[in-house]
Chain A
C-alpha cells in the first residue's frame, strides 16, 4: 500500500481499523519524514521512543478489534501543552528543562482515544507572535514557497510549527492554540484547516497560559473531516478548568455533507480593508458565490466596531499576559540567572535573560495599562469596547447563521519582512481577533492560491457552541474550492 503518512487522519484511522497498515508503520513513516524535514524546524522535541511504544500498544489493541477514535494515529503537539515527562518549553528560554509532572487535559483526551505522540511543535514564544519569529528555538519555515523563488516564508504564528508540520505531512494532525488568530492565521498561510472552538468548549488546563480570557485550543488538520475528528477528541467538560463548559460534545464528523439550503451567511462590509490584495477580495467574492450555489442566502451585515478589535486585543492580551507570566521568576521551575545580589535582582535578571523581546514588550505594556492611574483609561475602557464588539456579534447572529470573511489580509510573507514594526505585525490578525474577543468559534479553510501560488484561506465565524453549523459550512467551502495542492518537498 501507499505510505501511511500520505493518508489523511480519517483515512489512516480507517486503514488502521481495517488492518491495512499498522500504527508502528505509520509512526515510523512520520518519524522518517520529520528527520528529513529538519530545515523546516517544526519540532522542538521529537519523542521517537515514546511514539513507538505508544504505537505498539495501539497495534495490540487494534489487533483485538479494540481502541478509541484515534487509535494508533500519530500527532504533533504544540509545545504549549504540558506533557508528562516530556520537555515543555512554550518556545521560551525561561522554561529551560521544564518537564511537567502532569498531562494537559487536551493531550490526556487524545491519548485516551489512542493517539500517538510524535513530539512537541515549535511556536512563537509563549504564543506571542504572528510569524513564528519569536521562538527561542528559531524560526519555523513555511513548506510553501512562491513559484520560482526560494525565499523563506513564515508559516504564520503562533502555531507555526503545527501548521508547517501538518502542511509538510510530518504528523496526521496537530494541536494548536488561538489567542488572537494563532490557529486560523497559520492554517490560512499553509493550506491547512484550523479550528478555534468557542471559548469554553475545550479545557485550558495544562496549557501554558497567555491571555486567559482569550486562549482556546483547537486543531490544525489536513482537511475539514480531520479537524472534526480532532476537535471531538480534544473537547469536553473538565472539572479542573472552571472556564470549561459542561455540555456534551456533538459528533462533528456526522454533520459533514449536510445541506446548507436556507442558511443565512453574513458578509460584513467592515472586513473590506484599504490596500487589501485584490486576490483576497476576489477569493472572498468567490466564497460568497460558493455559498449561494450551496443554497444559502447572503446577508450584508455591518460590524462597525471591527476597527477597534486589535487595539482592544493589544490592551487585554498583554494585561492578562503580564499577570500570567509573573509566575516565571526562577523559583519554581525553569531558568534561574547565575548572577544576582539579592532576591529582587534574582527575579529581574532571571526574567531579563529568560524572556525574548516580544514577550518583554508585552509584559511591559500589560504592566503599564494595569498600573495605578492608567487602569481606567486603558484596561477598563478596552473591556467596555470589548462588550460593544460582543453585543454587535450577538445582534448579527440574530440575523445570520454564519459569517464569511477572508482569514488573513495577505498570503505568507517573508521572514523578517514585518518583524521591525510591531503594529504592522499585529495587523495580521485583523480578521481573526474579533472571534477571540467575543468568544466565538471560527475556522480557516483552504480556498485558493494567489498569483505566486501561495495558499489563501476563508474564515467562517459561528454562534457560540454552534461548531456543527460551522463545520457544515467549512465542508461546503472545501468541496467547492478543491484547494488540495501540497507544497513541493524541497527539503527532502
Chain B
C-alpha cells in the first residue's frame, strides 16, 4: 500500500518530528517502498496463531515493595535533573503550556 504526502504529514506530527514541506514527498516515496516490501507478510497464513510478546518463557519477576538503594532508588533529585537543558529547583523547565 502506498502512502501519500498528507499521511506522512500526519504521522510526522504524531511522532513529534517537524518535517519541512519539501521532505514530505520524498519520505512518502521511501516509506511506501518499504511498506510495499513488507506487504509480502500478507501471504502468510496466521489464522489461529497467537501474537508473540516474548521469546523467553518467564513470568515477570516481582521485587519487594521497598525503596531501592543505588541508581534505581529514590531521593536523588540532583541526579535526575543533572542532564536537563533547563531546570529550576529540581524541576524540568519547559515553555508555558497554559496561558
Contact = CB atoms under 8 A, between A and B. Distances in A.
A330 B44 contact: no
Interface stretch (A158-166, A187-195, A360-368, A409-417): A360-368
A373 to B, nearest CB: 11
A102 B44 contact: no
B71 A101 contact: yes
A200 B16 contact: no
A88 B32 CA distance: 34
Interface residues of B, number: 51
A364 B54 contact: no
Contacts, number: 163
Interface in B43-61: 44, 46, 49-56, 58, 60-61
A366 B27 CA distance: 14
Contacts of A364: 8, 11-12, 15, 17, 27, 31
Nearest to A438: B55
Interface stretch (A18-26, A241-249, A452-460, A482-490): A241-249
A348 B14 CA distance: 10
B56 A97 contact: no
A68 interface: no
A385 B17 contact: no
Given A360-B17, A365-B31, A315 B38 contact: yes
B33 interface: yes
B61 A246 contact: yes
A329 B31 contact: no
B17 A213 contact: no
A148 interface: no
B91 to A, nearest CB: 11
A245 to B, nearest CB: 6
B51 A384 contact: yes
A248 to B, nearest CB: 15
The range of chain A's interface size is 35 or more
Interface in A274-293: none
Contacts of B55: 199-200, 213, 390, 437-439, 464
Given A200-B56, A365-B31, A311 B86 contact: no
A311 B49 contact: no
B84 A343 contact: no
Interface string A194-232: 000011100000000000010000000000000000000
A438 B55 CA distance: 6
A311 B15 contact: no
B38 A383 contact: no
A34 to B, nearest CB: 27
Interface in B1-51: 3, 7-8, 11-19, 27, 30-31, 33-35, 37-38, 40-42, 44, 46, 49-51
Contacts of B12: 364
A331 B92 contact: yes
Contact of A311 (B16, B41, B58, B95): B41
Contact of B94 (A343, A384, A386): A343
Nearest to B16: A347
Given A345-B18, A378-B38, A101 B56 contact: no
B2 to A, nearest CB: 12
A100 to B, nearest CB: 8
B37 A423 contact: yes
Interface string A377-404: 0101111111110100000000000000
The 4 closest A-B pairs by CB, nearest first: A439-B55, A333-B83, A383-B51, A102-B71
Interface of A: 97-103, 198-200, 213, 239-240, 242-243, 245-246, 305, 307-308, 311-312, 314-315, 322, 326, 329-336, 340, 342-349, 351-352, 355, 360-361, 363-368, 371, 378, 380-388, 390, 422-423, 437-439, 464
